Amino acid sequence: MIAVIQRVKQASVTIDNTLKSSIVQGLLVLLGIAHEDTQEDSEWLTKKIINLRIFSDNEGKMNLSLKDINGDLLVVSQFTLHASTKKGNRPSFIDAARPDQAIPMYEQFVKLSEVELGKKVFTGEFGADMQVQLLNDGPVTIIIDTKNKN
């Protein structure tokens, strides 16, 4: 799994000119699922994201987690994170999980995140043409790949 994590002041997902989800202070996570990803990857990534200390404390230091600030979480599926651009100019998405595997893993990730965070997690819609808007805070953007846990 690959996650692009963005600390946001606000973020939203619109589908067909209809607002699907909206959050205020928290994290927007773009989530890419590969065909070799497992439940262990999902569990590890969930805990890592929810407990990542990237919010400022009273001294202005990044020392607080999403959980600490009671922030919101918006998770958007994004298979294009697994694009391979090694050959030519057209990306290959061969490493991305097919929907029959990716949808249950995406849903599992959201459920695990709700348990870990202790509140509702907002989402996009798997496979939909989404417009994602965000106001990046910092900016702080972190990329985590479960295949590279070092």
**Residue 80 falls in the annotated catalytic set:** yes
Which tokens go with 144?
């985590």
CB contact set of 111 (below 8 Å; sequence gap of 6+): none
**Residue 78 falls in the annotated catalytic set:** yes
| Type of residue found at 36 | E
Residue with the two structure tokens 């987690």: 65
Of 78, 109, 122, 123, the catalytic one is 78
The answer to whether 64 and 57 are in contact (CB under 8 A) is yes
Of 6, 55, 79, 122, the catalytic one is 79
| Type of residue found at 101 | Q
Of 38, 80, 93, 133, the catalytic one is 80
Estimate to the nearest angstrom the gap between the alpha carbon of 90 and the chain centroid: 25
Quick count: other Cβ atoms within 10 Å of Cβ 36? 12
Active site (catalytic) residues = 78-80
